[in-house]
Structure 1
Amino acid sequence: MNNHEIDYEVIGDDMQFVQVELDPGETVIAEAGSLMMMDDGITMETVFGDGSNQGGGIMGKLLGAGKRVLTGESLFMTTFTNDQNGKKRVSFASPYPGKIVPLDLSELGGKIICQKDAFLAAAKGVSVGIEFQRKLGAGFFGGEGFIMQKLEGDGMAFVHAGGTLYKRTLEPGEVLRIDTGCLVAMTSDVDYDIEMVRGVKTALFGGEGLFFATLRGPGSIWVQSLPFSRLASRVFAAAPQTGGSSKGEGGIGGLFDLFGGDRN
């Protein structure tokens, strides 16, 4: 294998984290801010891009970092290396409730396409780049933008999804239509396009948006039941709009405020 061969364990149910076991000299890369805990003896270092092209000179580093900027991610990633003789463990947590998906790229054709914010961690050597959608409709109306992430290599990678995770394998020619935000990842052989909702009334009053993703097999896809954008919009809609006042939350205190009025 060209990538470091790491052992791992996904721990938890709805609030999961992944614990990676590193042999001496092994390295794992992760998104900045995803660290949960690590054993003493692990060296942490911040690098440009994903760390897979550190031997390619300054231009290679800048190119890798620039690709991450296009996907809305940070210029930097963090590497964790076991510099000791024994095995060491480092853990990474998902940023919101959901599932962590282990993906063995060597069994998935060496490439996975995923949402730009789905990547969590991977074995050193996995390249985290950008994937341009071939069709303009998928780019402009897909909900995930014209650019998605691609993970390439032959090692382990970990992505996270919101809510419940569902994996489905599409047969050749089989078509599945899903909400654009619910797509977590797919193998590179899946054909991905955007289709407009039919019918004016359905588009305007259906509450599901004007477009959905059309996925055509063969290939495997991973779908999440609760995209973070949907959760955030519901929280924002339910939040008090009066500068943080809690009078509108419907509790007993709210009843006193309603009927008591100003007692002075």
Structure 2
Amino acid sequence: MNNHEIDYKLLGDDMQFVEVELDPEETVIAEAGSLMMMNDNIRMETIFGDGSNESSVSGIMGKLIGAGKRVITGESLFMTAFTNEGTEKSHVSFASPYPGKIVPVDLSEVGGKIICQKDAFLAAAKGVSVGVEFQKKLGTGFFGGEGFIMQKLEGDGMAFVHAGGTIHEKKLEAGEVLKVDTGCLAAMTGDVDYNIEFVGGIKTALFGGEGIFFATLRGPGTVWVQSLPFSRLASRVFAAMPQEGGSKGEGSIARGLYDIFGGDRR
């Protein structure tokens, strides 16, 4: 194995967190801001990139190129590495950023690569490469919900991906096609053929309420579908927020906070 071998435990239901067990000198990497708690003998270090291929010149150049791609996606240039410097097993936990599920993926069992939403990565064993995947098809790039760029995780270790709501894992046979709302596609293995199609029919497109395009996924491969994309959650929250000049009789928490912090102070 090129990656560190880590054990883990998923805890919680709708707001899950993953507890990673590290042997002495084992390391797990995570996106900044995902830490929930850790034991005292775990050292936290900010690293450039994902910590893979640190020694070779080509590895350094690869990290610089990868960093440039991450800047394009709006991601940070840096990640955080958590290393057990003690003599016994220790634990570090990472929390979900919003209601949903954490999907553990053993990359060695899915061909060494998965492609996911650019904000889906939570944590992984050190050695897993975290990069970006440029969609080669213009239609996919312009209308795929995630634009030209998605996130890719490569290696042979454990990786943890977060998605909203309930997660459904669907295994596609060779030639089997699954049509998914573009926002509900959480992740897929690298062998899945991904494209974007027009829903068909002007009336359906304009008034159907399901968007103008959907993702067409063709097997073989594995697809993870989320029931609550963050964009859908955010749009519902925004729609429920009070608007300027709106009614002030709504008995909601948002209404109360608005009155306290930003409402009419007369």
Q: TM-score, normalised by structure 2?
A: 0.91
Amino acid at match of 1:9: K
Which residue is 2:17 aligned to?
17
Correspondence list, 1:85-124, <5 A: 85-124=87-126
| Distance (Å, rounded) in 1 between the aligned partners of 2:18 and 2:164 | 15
Cα distance between partner residues in 1 of 2:247 and 2:11: 36
Q: Which runs of 5+ in 2 are unaligned?
A: 257-266
**Does the residue aligned with 1:81 lie in a helix, a strand or coil?**
strand
Q: What are the equivalent positions in structure 2 for 1:112-151 lying under 5 Å apart?
A: 112-151=114-153
Query: Structure 1, unaligned stretches of length 5 or more?
Result: 255-264
Please list every run of at least 4 consecutive aligned residues from structure 1 whose deviation after the TM superposition is greater than 4 angstroms: none
AA partner of residue 249 (structure 1): E
CA distance in 2, matches of 1:78, 1:246: 46
Per the alignment, residue 202 of structure 1 pairs with 204
The total of aligned residue pairs comes to 252
Alignment of 1:167-178 (within 5 A): 167-178=169-180
Contact 1:50 1:64 (C-alpha < 8 Å) held by counterparts = no
Q: Quote the offset at 1:87 in angstroms.
A: 0.5
Q: Among residues 216, 229, 232, which one is paired with 1:230 in the alignment?
A: 232
1:64-112 Cα shifts (integer Å, max 9, x gaps): 3222222321111000000111111000001000000000000000000
Structure 1 residues 92-101 or 67-76, which shifts more? 67-76
* Structure 1 residues 248 and 75, CA gap change in structure 2 (3 angstroms): farther
Q: What's the counterpart of residue 30 of structure 2?
A: 30
Q: Aligned letter for 1:29?
A: I
d(CA) in 2 for partners of 1:119 and 1:153?
A: 14
- Tell me, yes or no, if the aligned pair for 2:8 and 2:18 is still in contact at 8 Å: yes
Percent identity, aligned pairs only, is 81
Q: Does 1:162 align with 2:164?
A: yes
- Residue identity in the other structure for 2:131: G
Provide the alpha-carbon RMSD of the alignment.
Answer: 1.7
Q: Which residue of 2 aligns with 1:193?
A: 195
Q: Look up the equivalent residue of 2:250 and give its one-letter code.
A: E
Contact 1:26/1:82 (<8 A) preserved? yes
SS at match of 1:139: helix
Q: Is the 8 A contact 1:54 1:60 kept in 2?
A: no
- SS of corresponding position for 1:96: coil
For 2:170, the aligned partner's letter is R
Contact 1:49 1:68 in 2 (8 A): no
Q: 2:244 aligns with which of 236, 242, 245?
A: 242
Alpha-carbon shift at residue 59 of structure 1 (Å): 3.6
Shift of 1:54: 2.4
Task: Please identify the structure whose Cα radius of gyration is greater.
Answer: 1
Residue 222 of structure 2 aligns to a residue in which SS?
A: strand
Greater Cα offset, 133-142 or 9-18 = 133-142
Distance 1:129 1:159 in 2: 14
Counterpart Cα distance in 2 of 1:21 and 1:71: 31
| Matching residue's letter, 2:123 | A
- 8 Å contact from structure 2 (residues 66, 132) kept in 1: no
Structure 1 Cα separation of the partners of residues 116 and 75 of structure 2: 13
Match of 2:213 in 1: 211
